[in-house]
Amino acid sequence: ILATVVGGSNVAFYKQLKGAGITPQKQFLMTLSVTEDEVLGIGGDNFAGFYSSMKYFESLDNDINKKFVAAFKAKYGP
């Protein structure tokens, strides 16, 4: 599935996928249009295992990203 749903509709879309039994174990899904905030609304249990290549995700938990975020906020503020 190449999902092109945008905005707040993503929340309902991914919850309905799970409700219909469509899971990453059964179906590959790639989206180009889910932001980090939308993933929070969708919920990890409804999105885990699917793929997204949308933008930059500030919450990435690795040393390089943490260093970048700290430097960015030091220069431009929170």
Nearest to 25, CA basis, from 5, 48, 8: 48
Q: For the beta carbon of residue 15, count every other beta carbon within 10 angstroms.
A: 16
Quick: pLDDT tens for 14-70: 999 999 999 999 999 999 888 888 888 998 888 889 998 877 778 889 999 999 999
Please give the structure tokens belonging to residue 28. Answer: 């590959």
